[in-house]
């Protein structure tokens, strides 16, 4: 049987993964250029990345609030 808090933890983890992956996608080209690498590919759509970060943060807060309840 699955414990009651399991789904809240999964929702929290999915939100964290979505926000974290998009933050890494935005920061990675800047970081590689700073280290001196050339031909670094930029993110295709920064707006989409920002929207996904916001969605991930909302889902993460929702999962965290569900865990506290």
Query: Domain residues of the chain, as ranges?
Result: 6-68
Instruction: Please give the model's pTM, rounded to 2 decimal places.
Output: 0.86
pLDDT of residue 42: 86
Question: Alpha-carbon distance 26 to 16, whole Å?
Answer: 15
pLDDT tens for the chain, residues 1 to 69: 667 789 999 999 999 999 999 999 999 999 998 999 888 888 889 999 999 999 999 999 999 999 987
For residue 36, CA distances in Å to 24, 32, 54 come to 18, 7, 30
Reading phi first (left if > 0) and then psi (alpha if -120 to 50, else beta), residue 39 is in left
Both tokens assigned to 49: 């990345």
């Amino acid at each position: 049987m699955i414990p009651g808090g399991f789904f809240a933890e999964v929702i929290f983890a999915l939100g964290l993964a979505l926000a974290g992956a998009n933050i890494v996608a935005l920061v990675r080209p800047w970081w590689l250029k700073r280290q001196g690498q050339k031909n670094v590919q930029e993110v295709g759509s920064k707006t989409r990345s920002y929207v996904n970060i916001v969605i991930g943060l909302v889902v993460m807060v929702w999962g965290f609030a569900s865990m506290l309840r």
